[in-house]
Amino acid sequence: MYLIDTNIFLEVLLDQERKSECLEFLKGVENGQFRCVVTSFTVHSIAVIMDARKLVRALRIFLETLRRMKGLTVYSTSLEDEIKVLEVMEKYNLDFDDALQAYVASIFGATVVSFDDDFDKLDFIERKTPADVLKS
């Protein structure tokens, strides 16, 4: 199982450099080839970014696409989860977003799919890029 970090979606939505790699991976999630989880925090963060850029139509398409993805589960953290996230923040000197993603990945025994190498310093999860996942 994989946890998809926010930056994977943003590569596609904001037409960034590694868009094609991310699109290929996300197509695998859509058709059920890869079992993945995404946090509701990621979904909301993307909504805020897209809204700020006045990309509401693209946001609607994004949300509808998520809903269709056969291999995707959306996980909403509880307040208890978020208190535990604070412990991860403090122990590993992470920001809230990275600590939350790492914590949720650990709940699911998932590998984080991300371009953020901050995850590499953690001893309890693994990180791969979309290209790494596609190779395996």
pLDDT digits (tens, 9 = 90+) for 73-87: 999 999 999 999 999
**Token digits of residue 62:** 């994004």
All structural domains of the chain with their residue ranges: 2-135
pLDDT in tens, 13-71: 999 999 999 999 999 999 999 999 999 999 999 999 999 999 999 999 999 999 999 99
CATH class of 2-135: alpha beta
DSSP string, 72-111: EEEEPPPHHHHHHHHHHHHHHT--HHHHHHHHHHHHHTPE
Asked if residue 136 has pLDDT above 90, the reply is: no
